[in-house]
Amino acid sequence: MRLDKLLSNMGIGSRKEVKALLKKKQVTINGVISKDGAEKVDPNKDEVAVNGEFIRYEQFIYLMMNKAPGYISATTDKREKTVIDLLGDDVQHFKPFPVGRLDKDTEGLLLLTNDGELAHELVSPKKNIGKTYFARINGKVTVDDITAFRTGVVLDDGYQAKPGELVILQCDTISEIELTITEGKFHQVKRMFEAVGKRVIYLKRLRMGDLQLDPALKLGSYRALTESELAYCKSLKDK
C-alpha cells in the first residue's frame, strides 16, 4: 500500500499533514528516510516510523460499546447524535460503523467495527446468531407468550418472525424478560411484543452470539475486544 495511505489510515494525520511530515524528513521506512508518499510499503514486513516511533499497522478495529439511550445507530446524521459521536478521536480514522441497529432509546451491547465481513456474519439472519435482550414489559408476560414466540409471531406488516426464545424473569404489572432472536428487523423486539398485545418500556441488548456485554462498561463507554472475543469473531469468519 502507499506510504501516505498507511500513515493517514493509522491516524498520523490528514493527507496534508502526512505530506508535511514527509517533506520534513520525519518518516522512515526500514530506517531510511522517505519523502515520497506514493512509495509502496508492505505493512506486514516494512518498519515504518514517524520521528523514530514505529507505526503498527492495523486494518481493523473491534470495539464493544454499552450504547447509551439518546444516540442513534448510524455513522452520521444531520439532526441526531450518533454512536460514532461517543468514540474518541484516536479511533475515528478507522471509520467504524455499528453492527446491527439498536433503537435510539435502546441500551446495551453494540459492536463497532470496520470489518464488513464480520458484521455480515453477526447480523445475517441466515447465520442464526442469537441476540439476547433484557426488557421490561408493560403487563403480565405469560406462558402463552412463550409459546407464541417459539412458534413465530406475525408482526404488524404481516411478516412472520423467526422463532424466539422467551424467558420470564418476573411476571407482574411490569414484567421482566429475556428474549433471544436470530434476526434484527426494524423494532423487532418491540413489534414482537405488540403482536401479543404488550409494550416494551425498556430494552437493553445483553449478548450477540458469544459476545457478552461487559458489565463494567458504563452507558456510552466502550473498549477494544479482548483476545478471546477476537478469537470468537475470527472463528465466525473462518466458518
In the chain, the N- to C-terminal Cα span, in Å, equals 28
Residue 141 binding ligand URA, by CB under 6 A: no
* Smaller CB separation from ligand URA, 39 or 194: 194
Residue 190 binding ligand URA, by CB under 6 A: yes
* Smaller CB separation from ligand URA, 103 or 178: 103
Residue 132 binding ligand URA, by CB under 6 A: no
Contact 149, 192 (CB under 8 A): yes
Residue 67 binding ligand URA, by CB under 6 A: no
Least CB distance to ligand URA at residue 219 (A): 15
48: exposed, middle or buried (Cβ count in 10 Å: 0-12, 13-18, 19+): buried
Residue 153 binding ligand URA, by CB under 6 A: no
Question: What is the rounded distance in angstroms from the CA atom of residue 183 to the CA atom of residue 162?
Answer: 7
Size of the site for ligand URA (CB under 6 A): 8
Task: Check if 85 is active-site.
Answer: no
Query: Residues 89 to 128: which contact ligand URA by CB under 6 A?
Result: 102-103, 106
Residue 40 β-bridge partners: 2
Residue 135 β-bridge partners: 177, 203
Least CB distance to ligand URA at residue 103 (A): 4
Among positions 189, 208, 225, 233, the unique one binding ligand URA when judged by CB under 6 A: 189
Exactly one of 103, 115, 156, 210 is catalytic; name it.
103
Buried b (16+ CB within 10 A) or exposed e, 93-131: bbebbbbbbbbeebbbbbbbbbbeebbebbbeeeeebeb
Question: What is the rounded distance in angstroms from the CA atom of residue 118 to the CA atom of residue 110?
Answer: 13
| Active-site amino acid positions | 103
Query: Which residues form the interface with ligand URA (CB under 6 A)?
Result: 102-103, 106, 187-190, 203
